[in-house]
Amino acid sequence: MKSVVLLGPPGAGKGTQATGIAEKYHILHISTGDIFRANVKEGTPLGIKAKEYMDKGLLVPDELVCDLVEDRVTKDDCKNGYLLDGFPRTVFQAEHFDAFLKKNGQSLSCVVDIEVDEKILLPRMIGRRVCRSCGKPYHVDTMPPKKEGVCDVCGGEVYQRADDCEETVLNRFKVYKDQTSPLIEYYKKSGVLGEINGAQDVDKVFNDICALLGE
Ligand code: AP5
Ligand code: MG
Ligand code: ZN
């Protein structure tokens, strides 16, 4: 069983890489951001709470996140493994998840840290569009869908995320630095961290991640 975490700042390319990695290794892609956005769209109680934080570029409180992910990875479709995109985001979440894994006699296979300089990230974020149905990321200049506004993969509507305006993006960078980047040290200490240069072409980043994850 492969259990992988994709770590990295907003716009690093976690979502972009996740689909290919999940396919190659036959593991399930779990994006907490996508789960929250789906709940916002459906207007569920979780979505209503999460939206308050997401719109400001803040993290959703830990207690709304941990059980959600731990329940999700226990489902049958995760038997072969899973790829966590956007979780854990705080040391609390990482410790909570480690305790959960330990209780089940498991541990993480690898934490892939995708590193990209903030100067490169801002234009990526401002020009990003995503599919409302399957979450696939696009970019207006560098990776537009074949047909404007329509997802290549599922035909869903391609839109701009509410938290991709410049002011919110800058806040998300700050939140990443303060609350999420300490996880790099955390996972380095446990010996599962692999670092990837995310400023390269999408294909090159993919190959580097695969080299790290092995067969
Ligand atoms: P989430 O959806 O996880 O957003 P994020 O971490 O900010 O990351 P992004 O999705 O913005 O970036 P990405 O790395 O996936 O980049 P992408 O591949 O799209 O979280 C959103 C919100 O939900 C949070 O702010 C928080 O409120 C809440 N939340 C979620 N999880 C939580 C948790 N665990 N705890 C608490 N709150 C949580 O790529 C970006 C752009 O760059 C695209 O346009 C793409 O085409 C382009 N691109 C990608 N790779 C390359 C490349 N190599 N070269 C050139 N362009 C590229
Ligand atoms: Mg993403
Ligand atoms: Zn789609």
Q: Give pLDDT tens digits for 167-213.
A: 999 999 999 999 999 999 999 999 999 999 999 999 999 999 999 99
Quote the ligand 1 centre to 10 CA distance (angstroms). 4
Q: Percentage of the chain surpassing pLDDT 90?
A: 100
Q: Ligand 2 centre and the CA of 86: distance in Å?
A: 7
Take residue 69 and report the two structure tokens written for it.
């992910």
Question: Which ranges of the chain would DSSP assign to H, the alpha helix?
Answer: 14-25, 32-42, 45-54, 66-73, 91-103, 118-126, 166-175, 182-189, 202-213
Cα–Cα nearest to 130, from 87, 163, 83, 167:
163
**pLDDT given at position 175:** 98
Collapsing DSSP to helix, strand or coil, 125 comes out as: helix
Cβ neighbours of 78 (radius 10 Å): 16
Find, among 50, 60, 55, 107, the residue nearest to 81 by Cα.
107
Residue whose C-alpha is closest to residue 9's, from 112, 118, 82, 111: 118
Distance 190 CA to ligand 2 centre (A): 25
* Tens-place pLDDT, residues 6-49: 999 999 999 999 999 999 999 999 999 999 999 999 999 999 99
Q: What is the pLDDT of residue 96?
A: 98
**Is the sign of the CA dihedral 128, 134, 136, 138 positive or negative?**
negative
Tell me, what DSSP letter sits at residue 77? G
Q: Averaged over 94-120, what is the pLDDT?
A: 97
Strands 2-7 and 110-115: parallel
Nearest Cα neighbor of 185 from 1, 7, 64, 42 is: 7
Provide mean pLDDT across the span 148-173: 96
Residue 108: what residue type? L
pLDDT score for 71: 97
Average the pLDDT over 140-165 and give the result.
Answer: 96
Active site residues: 14, 89, 128, 161, 172
What is the pLDDT averaged over residues 57-62?
A: 98
pLDDT for 85 equals 98
Is cis: bond before 88, omega within 30 of 0? yes
For residue 215, the model assigns a pLDDT of 77
Q: What residues flank ligand 1, with Cβ below 6 Å? A: 8, 10-16, 32-33, 36, 53-54, 57-60, 65, 86-87, 89, 93, 124, 128, 137-139, 142-143, 163, 172, 201-202, 205
Q: What is the mean pLDDT of residues 55-77?
A: 97
